[in-house]
Structure 1
Amino acid sequence: MGRYLIQRCFLLGLTFIAITIIGFSIVRLAPGDPVELFFSGGLAAGVEGVNPERLVQVEQAKEDLRRQLGLDQPLHIQYIRWLGRILHADLGRSFKDQRLVWDKIRERMPLTITLNSLALLITYGIAIPLGILSAVKTGSIADRVSTLIVFMLYSLPSFWVGTMIIIFLCGGDFLDWFPPAGLHALDYDPEWPLYRRLGDYLHHLAMPLLVTTYGSFAFLSRVLRSSMLEVKLQDYVRTARAKGVSERVVILRHILRNSIIPIVTNLGLLLPALIGGSVIIETIFSLPGLGYLGYQAVLARDYPVVLALFSVGSALTLVGILISDLLLVLVDPRISFEGKPA
């Protein structure tokens, strides 16, 4: 196990570097210049009626700002310097307001972690029972109805669902059951009792959680159903039933336990996917999380913030894959990494 971990960590490091090279190149070569954007509201926005000497000063100021931000260097030099800072846990300063990027991320991180942790619990809490029910009741009315509903949910894009929820349930043209944006009520008071503050917080997160989870549990429930239907046909399941083992034990111990591997494997990819999807959710519901921060940074061409969030997402993806591989050993003792090449 130790040798396997060392090999995997080494490969994860190389993979992370390769991912950051691609991401850094895409971000820096994308249309738009943060320096031009910074000066777009000043004299550089037009030339009619502007003193030529003043324009020369503006151009000189642009060059000075590019030099200060390091944007005048070749792309590979910029990347090496950026990677060196990242390896020393220095995410740099925002181009937009010169604040430390880490401070901006630290302010937004609790909301995103809370939202996605709750979404993960809800997703698995619904997907596993629903998948078991569909597999056990194959061909029944319950299975057909759940299959129809799940496929309908999985086919709906989250941005459209979020928009429809705001229109119909969040004080649009119809019902006003849930708040359309923010984390607290307009009359929120920090002196409220804990239960009231918690209720207000969850009331504001209810619809974002719904939009975040419906597609994930629909997908995972289908994965578990397919896996259980395949395991049900195995000889050891028929043998257990022939020995008189109760159906409950057969399902939970023999079928479910051997069908859970795809669910564990998807766990490593689901968390980064939820964080990436939070860009849409947080933007639609105006939640001050990491996703909304990334959206604002892209619009402002705030390279340090964009690259920092990209790096965090990439690292989470790689670590999530490693954790899911390690969890397989706990789920299925037959799996061993001893002597297995990375």
Structure 2
Amino acid sequence: MLSYTLKRFLLIVPTLFCIILLNFLIVHLVPGGPVEQMLHRMELSAQEHKGGASSAVDFGQDAVVKELKQQFGLDQPLWKRFYIMLKHYLMFDFGKSYFRSESVTTLLINRLPVSLSLGFWSMMLMYLLAIPLGIQKAVRNGTCFDLWTSLIMMLSYAIPTFLFALLLMIFFAGGSFFSYFPIQGLFSWDWSRLSFWEKIKDYIWHLVLPVSAQVLTGFAALTLLTKNAFLEELSKQYIVAAKAFGFKFRTILFKHVFRNAMIVMMAHLPLTLFHVLFSGAFLVEMIFSLEGIGLLSYEAIGNRDYPVIFGSLYLFTLTGLVLHVISDLLYTWIDPRIHFEGKN
């Protein structure tokens, strides 16, 4: 088990290197880099100061471009930039944002609590909804209840997260129908003036719609996973024998089937966490203007802010790889009967 664990964690290094290299090449090949973005901003600023007239300064001059490239460190060869980036990333030094007056590490740390908050509550509600529903679908497999809930989950799985988010805003956040919930942000403008319990209420009030959008699109897969795990256990021989000995079905279900079926669900927990933190939350944070890592990454891509883009990608990739390994190892931690050494 120890050798397998070490091997899995060591494999993270070359995998992380290849993913970073691929992302580095793709991002740098995309036209309209940070120099072009800065030139465009300078030109717009100059036109505004001159009342919309054309700027007398040619911002495409070689001297200006050369100065900007030196400022952003883009005057060096591509391989050297990649080498310097890797050397700093080993120390979790992601550099400084091109268009913000903060380091990337500070930006990520400041935005991380919002993403963690959204992801934690979404994951909790997904499991609280998916596990009971999945058990009921397994017990009532083939009935009208199973059929109709499967249809609802197919629709839930097929509709993208951003569409659910927009629909919730239309219906419940001042759209064409009701105005029960705030349309953006995680706190009210007068947050600092509120009492402790009012702050908790305000925090929950702001989380209702974004968390609901996450849960509505994420619970379907977990529900089907739960159902399949329970159906597999219910079809095993020891269940047939227990029924023959006269054990009550409820006792069999919760004393034996539940424990074995939940191995799959618990092992899937890290992957669910990664999905709600970085995959689903990306669009939700954009739509509800939540100052999390998803929104930060989106703005960085639009601005071609390379340090923020690569810092976010590094964090996403490293977290995803580690959580995949943890998910794999959870099988053995939960059920010692499983051994990975035989796979080697």
Structure 1 equivalent of residue 246 of structure 2: 244
Match of 2:84 in 1: 81
Partner-residue secondary structure (3-state), 2:197:
helix
* CA distance, structure 2, for counterparts of residue 176 and residue 49 of structure 1: 45
Letter in 1 for 2:196: L
Q: C-alpha separation between the residues in 2 aligned to 1:142 and 1:152?
A: 16
Specify the alignment match of 1:37 in structure 2: 37
Q: Unmatched 5+ residue regions in structure 1?
A: none
The CA deviation at 1:319 is 0.9
Identity %: 33
Residue 2 of structure 1 aligns with an amino acid whose one-letter code is L
Give the aligned residue type for 1:280.
Answer: L
Q: CA deviation at 1:329?
A: 1.3
Q: CA deviation at 1:112?
A: 0.6
Aligned position for 1:16: 16
Counterpart of 1:288 in structure 2 is: 291
Residue in 1 that maps onto 2:337? 334
Is 1:211 aligned to residue 219 of structure 2? no
Q: Deviation per CA, 1:147-199, whole angstroms, max 9, x where unpaired?
A: 2222221111111111111111101121111111112234x242422211101
Letter in 1 for 2:113: P
Q: Deviations over 1:267-306 (max 9, x none)?
A: 2322222222211001101111111111111111001001
For 2:284, what is the secondary structure of its paired residue?
helix
Q: Single out whichever of 21-30 and 142-151 deviates more from structure 2.
A: 142-151
| Contact kept in structure 2, 1:267 and 1:320, CA below 8 Å | no
Give the aligned partner of residue 50 of structure 2.
none
TM-superposed CA distance for 1:265, in Å, is 4.1
User: TM-score, with normalisation over the residues of structure 1?
Assistant: 0.92
CA contact (8 A) 1:4 1:337 kept: yes
Alignment of 1:62 onto 2:85: no
Q: Which runs of 4+ in 1 moved over 4 A?
A: 43-46, 48-51
- Give, in angstroms, the shift of residue 256 of structure 1: 2.7
Contact 1:93 1:100 in 2 (8 A): yes
Task: Find the partner of 2:303 among 293, 300, 303.
Answer: 300
Residues paired across the two proteins, number: 337
What SS class does the counterpart of residue 247 from structure 2 fall into? coil
Q: 1:87, 1:324 → 2: CA distance?
A: 24
When the two structures are superposed, what TM-score results if normalisation uses the length of structure 2? Answer: 0.91
* Cα distance in structure 1, aligned partners of 2:90 and 2:238: 51
Shift of 1:11: 0.5
2:119 to 116, 119, 140: 116
Distance 1:276 1:190, change over 3 A: same
The more displaced of 283-292 and 257-266 is 257-266
Q: 1:3 to 1:233 in 2, by over 3 A?
A: same
Question: 5+ unaligned residues in a row in structure 2: which ranges?
Answer: 48-52
- Select the residue among 145, 154, 159 that pairs with 1:156: 159
Quick one: distance in 1 between partners of 2:246 and 2:54? Answer: 94
Give 2:169's match in structure 1, choosing from 163, 166, 170: 166
